[in-house]
Amino acid sequence: MANPIVQRVAAAQGNSFLADQLIRDYLPFIRSEIAKMNAAAEGDELSIAMIGFHEAIESYQADRGAFLSYASLVMKNRLIDYYRSEARHRSVSLSSSLGDEDLTLEDTLVDPKDEAAALEDRSATAAEIEELSDQLVQFGLSLSDIADHTPKQERTLQSAQAVLRHAREHPEIIRELLRTKKLPIKQLVSATGVNRKVIERHRKYLMALMIIYSNGYDIIRDHIGMTFIKEGGARQ
């Protein structure tokens, strides 16, 4: 008889709802794996690890051994890539002054030994993710859609950012999305000049991010903003 978790993974492959449910159920495991690499893991690490766990669900096959061991390896690789990326972008000296203030970057860093603060950050992030997941379901979306439909090419990412920037500058577009639960594609094409096929192809990604920016998902929103800085060169 197949292991229960293997059965759940098989059922969740290609099923966003079941995949999200599996991710929520295994959040304690995901957090414990983060702690093995960094005891003071913060919100970014949790987001990256969850994406890695989802990748493990979609790519798992029985011949790869125990699922949790496989998922642990995928998450570890994701986090290593993230840390390497962070290192490349962390070129400013910690002793550099921040603008005209006397504070340095080092002064603003949270003490990594402050485990209580780190635990609070992780709990707050997990709560936001769970709340967002519940809201996305109302739009026929899932957390998996954000990962699956994120633009991979720089040019496409910039087009998506242009659409999102326009929507944020024109709240009526987001209100229309919330009211109809449909993306006003024709209006966005006309206003931004972005190719209709690009918007349609990344519709779920765009809808999910507009929903995030319409509510108080401060932690998730800030993480997305930092991702845009790294991938697009400037905060959008």
| Partners of 104 in beta bridges | 97
- pLDDT tens for 1-26 read 456 788 899 999 988 888 888 998 88
pLDDT for position 170: 92
Query: What pLDDT does 98 receive?
Result: 40
- Residue 97's DSSP bridge partners are 104
Q: Which amino acid is at 23?
A: I
Among residues 80, 36, 30, the alpha carbon closest in space to that of 56 is found at 30
The CB density around residue 180, as the number of other CB atoms within 10 Å, is 9
Helices within 110-193 (DSSP H only)? 115-137, 143-148, 154-169, 171-180, 185-192
Q: Which two tokens stand for residue 56?
A: 């493990």
Give the integer Cα–Cα distance in Å for 236 and 224.
Answer: 10
pLDDT in tens, the chain (236 residues): 456 788 899 999 988 888 888 998 888 888 888 887 764 455 678 888 888 999 999 999 877 778 888 898 898 888 888 777 766 555 444 444 444 445 444 444 444 444 444 555 556 667 777 778 888 888 998 877 777 788 888 899 899 999 999 998 999 999 999 899 999 999 999 999 999 999 999 999 999 999 888 776 777 776 665 444 344 443 34
Q: Is the dihedral of CA 94, 98, 102, 107 positive or negative?
A: negative
pLDDT at res. 104: 46
- pLDDT of the residue at 90: 52
CB atoms within 10 A of CB 190: 11
pTM here is 0.50
What's the pLDDT at 80?
82
User: Sign of the C-alpha dihedral, residues 67, 34, 50, 80?
Assistant: negative
Domains and CATH numbers, the chain: 4-91+115-125 (1.10.1740.10), 149-232 (no CATH)
